[in-house]
Structure formats: structure tokens, C-alpha cells
């Protein structure tokens, strides 16, 4: 009898630099980005090396501005066998834009990533998970622009993002014009009636690794579903320049930066991972419209 292959999970990287995050937008204007030391190129290459050592492939959601500055990095990421996807051009909250601003920004980012790599971009992730209940119209535009999947809807309460009660497992969103878009929510876990984020970004840095491993076990044993993991290149860089900001922003951004690379290395040596493009479950997705994104998920 052959052994059953372990469940493989989805690894993703949001390629942005430390000064571009939403936590610092009140302190760092986009017109000043050129003044800050750029560290995303070196940090992303360190991640590529870690992934090579572990033998895994991932999806890299590039900010278009970064792709414009470092086309060789985009090309190298694709050459190393990873999937390229879009993380906007200017890293602005989707719900702060009107539909045409969003379309223009997305087109510009998609074009520069594709031109730099010579590969087609099929996936999108909103800056700071900012496709919320008020900006579900963005999914229609993504489908119209040729995207086939999105990973932007976070089913949690948060002061910046989130669609509380949204489905926690991948589903197919029915868009205008009979188009569809596959939606891949980041991992969450239910505890005492509440929903907590798991295995991504600051939550991977701040929460104990025991919690992260417990969340993985829940997804494997209880749900039989992959965990969608995400993080940013700046999160493995404890030497990055410090930006003066409010206490909450500093806690979110700087906590445990010195531990993140080690945690990431343990994670990718413990579990198998693949890119979104290689997810085999896409044919088994339930189909929903904007009205029933928050309909109860029978698998929860």
C-alpha cells in the first residue's frame, strides 16, 4: 500500500518595501519613496534562496512600483520557477479609489510585471486586504481585466480591512458579465466563537509558533484544506530603517522582525508548499455572488 502524500499548502509573498506599508502612509508620502533606502531587492533574493533550499515554489505578488524599479528581480523570480501576481501599482487601499482609478492602477501594475518577466499575470491581492464589503465591485473589474483568481478577502474584523463572516475556504465568485473569479482567503481559525487570523504576516511573527502549528493541524485534520500563508520581504529584515509612527503601527510592524526568518525557515522545512497556480482544488470550489460572500460555509 502506497503512503498518502501530505497535504500541500499555499505560500505567497507580497513584494513591497518597508516604507510602503499602510501603517506608515501618514508619515511617508508616495512622492518621498525615492528618498528611502531600497531594501526589497536584497530581501526578496534572500527569500528566493530560502525557497530554493527548501525546494518549494510560491506566488510573489509584486507591487508595480517595485517591479518598475527592479525588473531584473521580477525576471529572476519567474526564472527560478515561481508564479508572479499583482499587488497593485501604488499600494493604495482599494476602497479609497473609484473604479476607474482602481482599473488604471491595476492595469499599470499588471503590464509592468508581465513586460518585465514575459509571463502572464493571473492573480491579484489587494494592498492591506482592502477589498471589503464596500469595494466588492473591484472583483468585477479584476475579472474584466483578465485575472482568474484573487486573494484579498480576509474573513476577520480589523480596523483597516476584513469582511467579517466571509467564507474561510476557497470559492468561486460570480462576477458581472457571467465571468468568474476564484477567491482564496488567507488562513483563519475559530476559537471560542471568534475568528482569528493564522499563519500570515504579522500574525506569523507575533503569535507563538505553537499557535501556527496548531492552525496547520486544524486545516489538515479537520478540514483537509491547504493553509494560505503570506508574508512580506521586509519582515525578515530587522536592520531596516526605523520610521517614526504611532505606537500601534510600530508594534504591528516591528515586533519580532529578528525572529521571522527563523520561523519561516522552520515552517517551510516542516510543511510542503506550492504556488496558487498549482492548487489542485480549484475545480471543487463553491460558487457565490457578492450577495452571498458571507453565506455560511458548510465546511466550517
Residue 288: its pLDDT value, please?
Answer: 60
- Contact yes or no for 287/171 (Cβ under 8 A): yes
Residue 196 bridge partners (DSSP): 189
- Mean pLDDT of all residues in 76-88: 98
| Measured distance CA(104)–CA(96) in Å, rounded | 14
User: Torsion-angle region of residue 224: left (phi > 0), alpha (psi -120 to 50) or beta?
Assistant: left
Residue 261 has pLDDT above 80, yes or no: yes
Q: Which residues contact 244 (CB under 8 A, 6 or more apart)?
A: 27
Residue 298 has pLDDT above 60, yes or no: no
Give burial (CB, 10 Å; 0-12/13-18/19+) of 177.
Answer: exposed
- Mean pLDDT of all residues in 125-146: 97
Angle ∠(166,141,279) on CA atoms, nearest 5: 55
* Among the listed residues 242, 203, 229, the one whose alpha carbon sits nearest the alpha carbon of residue 39: 242
Give this prediction's pTM: 0.93
Element (H, E) at 180: strand 180-183
- pLDDT grade for 283, boundaries at 50, 70 and 90: very low
Q: Under DSSP, is residue 130 helix (H, G, I), strand (E, B) or coil?
A: coil
| Measured distance CA(215)–CA(53) in Å, rounded | 25
| Measured distance CA(76)–CA(244) in Å, rounded | 33
Topology (CATH) of 9-292: TIM Barrel (3.20.20)
Least confident of 54-68, 71-85, 154-168: 154-168
- Contact yes or no for 54/7 (Cβ under 8 A): no
Amino acid at each position: 500500500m502506497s503512503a498518502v502524500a501530505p497535504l500541500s499548502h499555499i505560500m505567497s509573498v507580497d513584494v513591497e518595501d518597508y516604507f510602503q506599508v499602510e501603517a506608515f502612509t501618514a508619515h511617508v508620502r508616495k512622492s518621498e519613496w525615492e528618498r528611502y533606502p531600497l531594501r526589497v531587492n536584497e530581501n526578496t533574493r534572500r527569500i528566493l534562496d530560502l525557497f530554493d533550499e527548501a525546494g518549494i515554489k510560491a506566488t510573489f505578488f509584486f507591487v508595480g512600483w517595485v517591479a518598475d524599479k527592479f525588473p531584473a528581480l521580477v525576471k529572476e523570480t519567474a526564472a527560478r520557477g515561481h508564479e508572479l501576481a499583482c499587488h497593485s501599482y501604488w499600494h493604495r487601499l482599494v476602497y479609497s479609489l473609484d473604479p476607474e482609478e482602481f482599473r488604471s492602477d491595476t492595469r499599470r501594475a499588471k503590464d509592468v510585471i508581465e513586460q518585465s518577466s514575459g509571463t502572464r499575470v493571473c492573480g491579484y491581492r489587494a494592498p492591506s486586504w482592502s477589498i471589503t464589503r464596500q469595494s466588492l465591485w473591484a472583483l468585477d473589474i479584476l475579472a474584466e481585466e483578465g485575472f482568474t483568481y484573487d486573494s484579498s478577502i480576509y474573513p476577520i474584523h480589523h480596523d483597516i480591512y476584513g469582511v467579517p463572516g466571509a467564507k474561510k475556504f476557497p470559492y468561486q465568485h460570480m462576477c458581472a458579465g457571467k465571468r468568474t473569479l476564484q477567491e482564496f482567503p488567507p488562513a483563519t481559525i475559530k476559537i471560542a466563537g471568534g475568528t482569528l487570523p493564522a499563519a500570515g504576516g504579522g500574525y506569523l511573527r507575533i503569535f507563538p509558533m505553537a499557535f501556527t502549528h496548531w492552525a496547520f493541524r486544524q486545516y489538515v485534520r479537520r478540514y483537509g484544506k491547504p493553509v494560505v500563508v503570506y508574508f512580506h520581504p521586509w519582515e525578515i529584515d530587522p536592520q531596516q530603517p526605523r520610521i517614526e509612527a504611532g505606537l500601534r503601527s510600530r508594534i504591528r510592524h516591528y515586533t519580532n522582525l529578528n525572529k521571522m526568518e527563523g520561523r519561516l525557515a522552520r515552517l517551510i522545512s516542516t510543511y510542503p508548499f506550492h504556488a496558487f497556480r498549482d492548487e489542485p482544488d480549484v475545480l471543487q470550489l463553491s460558487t457565490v455572488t457578492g450577495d452571498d460572500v458571507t453565506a455560511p460555509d458548510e465546511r466550517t
